């Protein structure tokens, strides 16, 4: 009887020249993997059923773990959802920042940032649904309110940074960057919400293109 070749650990794979992990390090890495596995399942379940229409057992089944393991990593349902929201916020912020970090021209940075932000409603529709679900809870949950506040503040800060760079290089007008950033975030969220509610009300890409043109006309210095 031929012995089956033992498959490498799906969490931790040894590499030549790399010192083996200690038991504590291995435990931490597995815990991180399991937490992400659970929060990913929670993300999918909330996108499908809504914030108030799921159970921990739904998440356990989707993640392929026991409900006891969920309680081992998260003290309660709120703790798990706050962790999920924080991960969503960090992932979106990092994705937007990575898209512009190697670009030198502030005009291109602004264009890329707006494209990425507007593209969420088409490329990450589940993210929009889940975020809207969390928004309904901010009256009752201060932690969620703070995390969402940080997300929108991050949008504004990135735009302010781009505008200031453009002004320093003599490319952008002396606009009130905080006002422009706040206006863009308002237009972004309002357009996304309307499109999610009634996608036949307008042509989303046409309207996003017009908003981009409006912003550029406002901020780009005409020579």
pLDDT at 21: 66
Q: Which part of the chain has CATH 1.10.10.60? A: 21-74
pLDDT at 17: 47
Selected residue with higher pLDDT from 137 and 202 = 202
Architecture, CATH, for domain 76-219: Orthogonal Bundle (1.10)
| Average pLDDT, rounded, for the chain | 83
pLDDT at 13: 42
pLDDT over 80 (residue 163)? yes
Q: What is the topology classification, in CATH, of domain 21-74?
A: Arc Repressor Mutant, subunit A (1.10.10)
Whether the Cβ atoms of residue 12 and residue 29 lie closer than 8 Å to each other: yes
| pLDDT per residue as tens digits for the range 93-129 | 788 788 888 899 999 999 999 998 898 888 877 888 8
Selected residue with higher pLDDT from 57 and 3 = 57
Selected residue with higher pLDDT from 168 and 30 = 168
pLDDT over 90 (residue 162)? yes
Residues with Cβ within 8 Å of residue 196, at least 6 apart in sequence: 121, 125, 128, 129, 132
Q: Which part of the chain has CATH 1.10.357.10? A: 76-219
20 band by pLDDT with thresholds 50, 70 and 90: low
Mean pLDDT computed over 188-208: 91
% of the chain with per-residue pLDDT over 70: 90
pLDDT at 3: 45
In terms of C-beta density within 10 A (0-12 exposed, 13-18 middle, 19 or more buried), how is residue 2 classed?
A: exposed
pLDDT over 90 (residue 175)? yes
d(CA 172, CA 159): 12
pTM of this prediction? Answer: 0.74
212 band by pLDDT with thresholds 50, 70 and 90: very high
pLDDT over 80 (residue 7)? no
| pLDDT per residue as tens digits for the range 39-86 | 888 888 888 888 778 888 889 899 888 888 888 888 888 888 888 888
Residue 79 exposure: Cα atoms within 13 Å on the Cβ side: 8
């Amino acid at each position: 009887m031929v012995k089956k070749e033992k498959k490498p650990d799906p969490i931790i794979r040894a590499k030549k020249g790399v010192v083996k992990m200690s038991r504590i390090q291995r435990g931490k890495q597995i815990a991180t993997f399991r937490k992400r596995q659970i929060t990913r399942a929670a993300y999918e379940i909330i996108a499908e059923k809504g914030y108030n229409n799921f159970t921990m057992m739904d998440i356990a089944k989707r993640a392929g773990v026991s409900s006891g393991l969920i309680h081992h990593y998260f003290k309660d349902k709120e703790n798990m959802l706050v962790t999920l929201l924080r991960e969503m916020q960090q992932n979106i912020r990092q994705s937007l920042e990575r898209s512009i970090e190697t670009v030198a021209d502030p005009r291109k940075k602004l264009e890329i940032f707006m494209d990425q932000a507007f593209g969420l409603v088409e490329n990450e529709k589940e993210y929009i649904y889940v975020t809207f679900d969390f928004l309904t809870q901010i009256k009752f949950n201060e932690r969620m309110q703070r995390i969402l506040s940080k997300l929108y503040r991050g949008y504004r800060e990135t735009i302010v940074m781009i505008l200031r760079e453009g002004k320093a290089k003599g490319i952008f007008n002396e606009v009130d960057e905080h006002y422009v950033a706040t206006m863009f975030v308002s237009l972004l969220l309002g357009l996304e919400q309307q499109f999610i509610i009634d996608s036949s009300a307008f042509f989303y890409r046409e309207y996003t293109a017009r908003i981009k043109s409006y912003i550029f006309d406002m901020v780009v210095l005409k020579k």
